[in-house]
Structure 1
């Protein structure tokens, strides 16, 4: 009788061990599957953000981002595009006469602000090499039509791209080819103005 109890006990331990082994394998498979799903989500998140996301993630564009929000252009600049944005830096906005930025950010100035901001946007993706090539192929000047409807003339000065606005004001590209999922950003040192 003792022998039967001992054999039964060993059999029970064997069943429990086998059962635990299967449970561990199932748990391990479940963890592997969950890890794969997490990695896929992380990879999707790591993709390059859109123009608004890139600007929002850069401390040099806080004024621009505030202006884009005030003009209700977040959805537009987050759309598929592609767009080329000549993005004024905070220093560029600081060059405007005192009170100009605060005035533009007021709700009653939304139409003017929208015109100014969309004057900095060109439909299509034009990286620096393409811009320089277009300038060189067009006798040193290349005119682009902005989303606002006005034009900006692009030229080269001391190896840098220079923008000339409708009023004759100029801005220089200080940082080119900032990639975004829906286009490209070129940072400029001065706010350009439509007529």
Structure 2
């Protein structure tokens, strides 16, 4: 399945959820508008900053100047390396160490951002419908491949690095943050 098909499946899933939400809201009246998790009322930047296991990512987004993007109206899916995964970046993790590391960190982060609103359930449904791997292009113009790994979903980047979805996704007003147990960047010294 290619990127376009993943987008079509996502659009269909969103339309189905919206239609279901309309019927539910009609039944529940005003209470239907108030339903939802706390993070759905926050922006992606706020949701990530409020998650204990994503504090390194929140700091990195701020350090490289990307946090304001995720306070805006655009819709994004961020595959967010958790704190343990960020620790594997070593010197690059400390964006304050210099502009060379800041640029490298910004590039790494762009390769974890997919335009649109994708949940792990959407990704899983696309994988199941395809019977294998699905792809999505990142803001850094890399192609990510999503596949099943037992009960988990594995994300693999162009350079072969991979990570598993590791925890509940945070749904925000302008997108989704999906925690990963690794960084989608080959960190092996050249």
TM score, norm. by length of structure 1: 0.70
Q: Give 1:47 shift.
A: 6.4
Q: Give 1:112 shift.
A: 2.0
Cα distance in 1 for residues equivalent to 2:97 and 2:174: 25
Matches within 5 A, 1:2-41: none
Change (3 A) 1:104 1:193: farther
In the alignment, does 2:58 pair up with 1:65?
yes
Aligned to 1:147: 139
Change (3 A) 1:65 1:103: closer
Aligned to 1:87: 80
Given candidates 173, 176, 180, the residue that maps to 2:172 is 180
- The answer to whether the 8 A contact 2:91-2:97 is kept is no
In the alignment, does 2:135 pair up with 1:138?
no
Q: Give 1:61 shift.
A: 1.3
Cα distance in 2 for residues equivalent to 1:140 and 1:105: 41
**SS of 1:99's equivalent?**
helix
Q: Give 1:46 shift.
A: 8.8
Question: Which structure is higher in RCO with an 8 Å CA cutoff and minimum separation 6?
Answer: 2
- The answer to whether the 8 A contact 1:85-1:184 is kept is yes
Change (3 A) 1:47 1:132: closer
- The answer to whether the 8 A contact 2:86-2:93 is kept is yes
- The answer to whether the 8 A contact 1:162-1:173 is kept is yes
Aligned to 1:119: 111
Aligned length: 150
TM score, norm. by length of structure 2: 0.72
* Structure 1 residue ranges without an equivalent (≥5): 1-44
Q: Give 1:184 shift.
A: 0.9
Aligned to 2:182: 190
Change (3 A) 1:64 1:47: closer
- The answer to whether the 8 A contact 1:71-1:113 is kept is yes
Task: Give the alignment's Cα RMSD to 1 decimal.
Answer: 2.2
Aligned to 1:55: 48
